[in-house]
Amino acid sequence: MTKLTLGSHPFLLGFDQLERLVERTAKAGNDGYPPYNIEKKGDNAYRITLAVAGFAETDLTITLEDRQLVIRGRQGEDGADRVFLHRGIAARQFQRSFVLADGVEVAGASMAHGLLHIDLRRSLPDTIVRTIKITPAAAG
């Protein structure tokens, strides 16, 4: 019995990268930190919101690597001379990844009240109809 992969199905021509994206997303199994929301803001606009309380803007980096949006957070040591009687606020690094579909671009990012907002927009391609001319085969 052979395994049918997404890229080898005859109706999915040109979608060979889809399987790699699915595998990469599955491997990026996050532990749930930091929590996030994904909102639809309009017909072609989306927003990802991450709860990053305790992180400064300089502690966060947002990169787009081959259609994968990666948000990393790393807090610097804020003084080894502090003595905590109880430490309930997480001070750990994180990495959260989202795979973006073709045509989805990052419109911008902002931070307010401990929430990091990343705005996305989908650009609509122009619909182009082409007629393909059939040429007779050469006799031979």
Q: How many domains does the chain have?
A: 1
CATH number of the CATH domain containing 44? 2.60.40.790
pLDDT tens sequence for the chain (140 residues) = 555 565 566 666 666 666 666 666 565 555 688 999 999 999 999 999 999 988 999 999 999 988 899 999 998 766 678 888 987 776 679 999 999 988 899 999 999 999 999 999 998 877 888 999 999 988 76
| Domain-embedded: residue 137 | no
H or E element that contains 68: strand 68-73
Cα angle for residues 125, 126, 128 (degrees, 5° grid): 125
| Domain-embedded: residue 21 | yes
Cα angle for residues 25, 28, 32 (degrees, 5° grid): 115
> Domain range holding 40?
7-122
126 three-state secondary structure: coil
φ/ψ (deg, to 5) at 16: -65, -25
| Domain-embedded: residue 2 | no
* Residues linked to residue 69 through DSSP beta bridges, in sequence order: 64, 98
